[in-house]
Chain A
Amino acid sequence: SAVISQKPSRDICQRGTSLTIQCQVDSQVTMMFWYRQQPGQSLTLIATANQGSEATYESGFVIDKFPISRPNLTFSTLTVSNMSPEDSSIYLCSSAGTSGTDEQFFGPGTRLTVL
């Protein structure tokens, strides 16, 4: 299994600013994912972050808005750029590829409110 921590756990930000969310895994993992969970809704995959290559974004998400870094096998960051109130969500990271299992392990999430 993998234990994942995220920082910050929550934040309140002003419109037009940017926030970087950090995700730390306690073991080396092949793949990391970033999700958005809007209030009362399911998880929407933003992108897949692989170490040593650029992130792969899902339809509707672009690198300029959600730049992602993956400098090593245990860490990733997601930046929410030029924020608007519509970006208010919970942002979750997860990891997969541990011990050959297809199971994903999730962080506790970052609750973002944009005023």
Chain B
Amino acid sequence: GNSVTQMEGPVTLSEEAFLTINCTYTATGYPSLFWYVQYPGEGLQLLLKATKADDKGSNKGFEATYRKETTSFHLEKGSVQVSDSAVYFCALTPLGSGTYKYIFGTGTRLKVLA
């Protein structure tokens, strides 16, 4: 079946540190992959996405590359800010399913210290 595995948090970093949050997936075919962010007290917002192998999604300094060979979609940012403190969710939707249903990872809480 389809599944998403994320690294466990919380992740605590100092401001301007490099961030990596690992995400690997299991799916049939070529799913679309997403990173969503949830700031405290808010709903989920799409951060970036990729729909095919080797695609790189990017937004607000965050990047993730769709790696079919390693079935991964790791989230990276070169220099984090305090305002990046949030919970990050990796998700997939199976290609061609027509259902638009998402499978979410467990979420990784990031805390950035000034």
Contacts and interface: CB of A to CB of B under 8 A. Distances in A.
The answer to whether A and B belong to the same complex is yes
Chain A interface size range: 20 to 34
B101 A45 contact: yes
Interface string B75-113: 000000000000001000100000111101111000000
Given A42-B107, A106-B45, A107-B43, 8 more contacts: A31-B100, A41-B106, A43-B44, A92-B44, A108-B42, A108-B43, A109-B42, A109-B43
Interface stretch (A68-76, A78-86, A95-103): A95-103
Interface residues of B, number: 20
A96 B99 CA distance: 9
Interface of A: 4, 30-31, 33, 41-43, 45, 48, 92, 94, 96-97, 102-109
A59 B44 CA distance: 23
Contacts of B42: 108-109
B106 A42 contact: yes
